Homo-oligomer: A and B are copies of this chain.
């Protein structure tokens, strides 16, 4: 069966919402991320359930079926591979590629994405450190921590980000925080959980808990 652009966007977003939790996903949370109204979401959920891509009961939320998951993973795979292409081959910065990849991820051609994968030398992660699902839908488990979970005086390496909005990425760039940076947690403020970090030999920098939560590291 074939998927429309709208359906693909819904599946992708439902996948993202499922990732965090075992609970079923609410109509409202989907409405928020798709920028649609709840009524429109209900409509679409019924169609997706028809097609067997989600399980859905009125008022009880929604989950992806195995098939739905695979569709979502193939879109995520395409998105992330195109992002690697844009950064590695065309010279974009990591904060510039999301919007374009949102379009490219809907190009349908199995051979295309596999040739692209090979052309890029089978990358395992995208420019934000997010893992790239395999053709079979396997996601390499990377076991990263959120920077906000790292203990005082520990040192870690910046491996990725949990959010790829342009403003967030630009902030990191301004703070000189890029993939691979070595970070030492030199202070954790108990009041607001803000964090002070030492990057290599530089003066320590301060970041909010909100920022720390969205940085992924390996200890």
Interface residues of A (CB under 8 A from B): 86, 89-92, 99-100, 103-104, 107-109, 112, 115-116, 119
Contact = CB atoms under 8 A, between A and B. Distances in A.
Contacts of A92: 115
A115 B112 CA distance: 20
A113 to B, nearest CB: 10
A119 B107 CA distance: 21
A86 B103 CA distance: 18
A8 to B, nearest CB: 13
Contacts of A112: 86, 90, 100
A115 B90 contact: yes
Contacts of A86: 112
A108 B103 contact: yes
